[in-house]
A and B are shown apart, each in its own frame.
Chain A
Amino acid sequence: MAPAIRCRALTKRYKDVLAVAGLDLVVETGECFGLLGPNGAGKTTAVEMIEGLVPPDGGEIEVLGLRWNRDEYAIRQRLGVALQETRLADRLTVLEVIRLFRSFYRDGHAPEEVLDVVELREKKDAWVEKLSGGQRQRLAIACALVGNPDILFLDEPTTGLDPQSRRQLWDVISTFKGRGGTVVLTTHYMEEAERLCDRVAVMDHGDVIALGTPRELIASLGADHVIEFVIGDGADPPPEETLASLPGVENVRHDGPRHSLTVTELHRALPSLMAELQRRNVEMTELITHQATLEDLFLSLTGRHLRDE
């Protein structure tokens, strides 16, 4: 069986910016695939090329074993798409919008059924312009789901949403995947990628710089915990070599007074760090430890934070 999506050497240039630089990707049927990266990494351009909305400058795309130039209509019948920041018709009701989209598809769900899935039933007669940000996003996803797609594309579905709306959307996506659907998701939230995605491609400057399951990617850091601490004003921090030589420490990084250590054995690294600081009579004003995340991976790969830009 052909993979849900296969693309080879995909490139796109906008004037003098190479937005996507020779991207190779395979998305298997039934998996949730995440494209993770900061703004401007080329995620949206890549996804819109796969969706057949942006013609690539070079490379090949196969969706469900079909090609855009030959089978556009057939592919579209089987895709559900939620673009970034689409403002659907302001003065149509929620139900009217879903009915409109339902009319495009040969097969699909009853509009009322989809309303239940995205929990918008009580809003079905409200004008779109009266909806909150989270409700609009759920409506966008309802429009993507109503044609009963094989592949669901979501471009930053939870950007700008409050935690509760975000969790509601995650549930909708999980349900779709639970029924065997394939999901392609772009995000710059690590938590979202870790929670939803079977595999993640980390993108930067138009290309994939790391690919694997969230667990594999984090494991590739060679360390599973991160210690972050801040030194009090005026105190001299220990030199980097000293920190790096502490037991269990794999990597040292600092950003002004904030230091961050990637460590394998938290139970050994933390006491020795405390002892070292005490010996130098340096006071900490802040101390955080957490499990390593994709954010730490991105930081270690690029030296930049995902949400810097």
Chain B
Amino acid sequence: MGYLAPLWQLTVSRFREQLRQPEVLFWVFAFPLLLAIALGLAFRNRPADVIHVAIVAGPGADSLAARLDAAGGFDVSVLSTPAANDRLRSGGAALVVEPGTPIVYRFDPTRSESRLARLATNDALQRASGRHDVLTTRNRTVTERGSRYIDFLIPGLLGFNLMGTGMWGVGYSVVDARRRKLMKRLLASPIRRSQYLLSFIMARLVLLGPEVAVLVGFGAIAFGVPLRGSILSLAFLSLLGAMCFAGIGLLTASRVQTVEAVSGLMNVVMMPMWVFSGVFFSSENFPAEMQPFIKALPLTALNDALRAVMLEGSSLAALAAPVAICVAWGGISFAVALRVFRWR
């Protein structure tokens, strides 16, 4: 027997086992779709929101309310002081206005909708009281494909899913085979260790194509998420991401003997990337001092590259830095895993 026949049989066996576990198919295919649908619905682009303002009852309150109503775009309630404060605290109102001289705006400046409400309310009241703009301006509104939340989300979910399936697909299977002594039994057969480890990665790659196609296709059909770069670039990045996280999964599982322990360890490894790597919101939200650390995470690099290809139509040549980060993570993890791997 040559090198390929055992490798093929090992890969096919692993692949068959995966297909025969409905839960595997759920996590690989259904879960990211459900997540995309749910988040797509929650953050769909809506018509401009009305601004909720609470006015504290007292002399002048009704006249303020009338002026805001006349300006349009405001939902105004006149309430007692405690009721208005409750409204502000619970998020039912973005701003509390206390009539008098001067008029007092009460709001939390860390809430962006409150800052917006303060600006809009002040603007409406000033105009109603006779202020004139000194510059002539005009608005032209656009809703462009590629800059909506769902456009941001789909490449992020793709990276997120490549990480999850890569880590679990390899890590869990390795530990399971070790626990049930299947690994030891295979090593008692004339196979090369590299054949055995490669079979995990190859079986992982078989599911990769459908996995990427389903998520990207769903995004395009259901939400019109664009793919502006080449399909080949997307395929290359997906493959790179899958291999990178397969390597990290292999390292994570290289010495662990129980499924419980490896589950915990995987979550520890993946947790920072769920938070920092810009899956659900931009990693730019974190302070500048943290950015070098965040940029060095493999999922950040992968997500940045996927977004650049899908949304901006970047070529791979322009993405050398994130590609290099993924190659380094995957390659180093794989090399270390081979050295420390526990075969029994």
Contacts and interface: CB of A to CB of B under 8 A. Distances in A.
A104 B187 contact: no
A286 B8 CA distance: 63
Contacts of A85: 181
A106 B1 contact: yes
A46 interface: no
Nearest to A83: B185
Given A77-B190, A91-B21, A104-B190, A53 B5 contact: no
A88 B184 CA distance: 11
Given A91-B20, A103-B1, A83 B13 contact: no
Nearest to A88: B182
A103 B182 contact: no
Contact of A76 (B16, B17, B188): B188
B21 A51 contact: no
Report, as a range, how many residues of chain A touch the other chain: 20 to 34
A105 interface: yes
A305 interface: no
B150 to A, nearest CB: 37
B1 A86 contact: no
A85 B5 CA distance: 27
B9 interface: yes
B145 to A, nearest CB: 43
A87 interface: yes
Nearest to A54: B344
B18 to A, nearest CB: 9
A76 B181 contact: no
A86 B184 contact: yes
Given A83-B185, A103-B6, A53 B190 contact: no
B202 to A, nearest CB: 14
B112 interface: no
A86 B181 contact: yes
A86 B182 contact: yes
Contacts of A79: 188
B137 interface: no
Interface stretch (A93-101, A197-205, A214-222, A265-273): A93-101
Nearest to B18: A91
Given A91-B21, A104-B6, A83 B190 contact: no
B136 interface: no
A104 B1 contact: yes
Contact of B188 (A51, A73, A97, A100): A51
Contacts of B188: 51-53, 76, 79, 81, 83
A66 interface: no
Contact of A96 (B13, B21, B182): B13
Contacts of A143: 185
Contacts of B191: 104
B180 A100 contact: no
A79 B190 CA distance: 9
B53 interface: no
B13 A87 contact: no
Interface in B1-29: 1, 5-6, 8-10, 13, 16-17, 20-21
B16 A96 contact: yes
Contacts of A89: 13, 17, 182
Nearest to A73: B190
Contact of B8 (A53, A101, A103, A106): A103
Contacts of B10: 100
A73 B187 CA distance: 10
A105 B1 contact: yes
Nearest to A106: B1
Contacts of A97: 13
Nearest to A104: B189
Nearest to B21: A91
Contacts of A88: 180, 182, 185
A92 B189 contact: no
B17 A99 contact: no
B101 to A, nearest CB: 78
Contacts of B21: 91
B241 to A, nearest CB: 27
Interface string A42-58: 00000000011110000
Interface string A95-120: 01101110111100000000000000
Interface in B186-241: 187-191
B185 A91 contact: no
Contacts of B190: 73, 76-77, 104-105, 147
Contact of A91 (B6, B9, B17, B180): B17
Per CB-CB distance, the 10 closest pairs between chain A and chain B, nearest first, are A76-B190, A87-B180, A103-B9, A91-B20, A81-B188, A104-B189, A86-B181, A86-B185, A77-B190, A100-B9
Given A91-B20, A104-B190, 4 more contacts: A76-B190, A81-B188, A87-B181, A100-B9
26 contacts: A52-B188, A53-B184, A53-B344, A54-B344, A79-B188, A81-B188, A83-B184, A83-B188, A85-B181, A86-B180, A86-B184, A87-B180, A87-B182, A88-B182, A89-B13, A91-B20, A92-B16, A99-B9, A103-B5, A103-B6, A104-B6, A104-B189, A104-B190, A105-B189, A105-B190, A143-B185
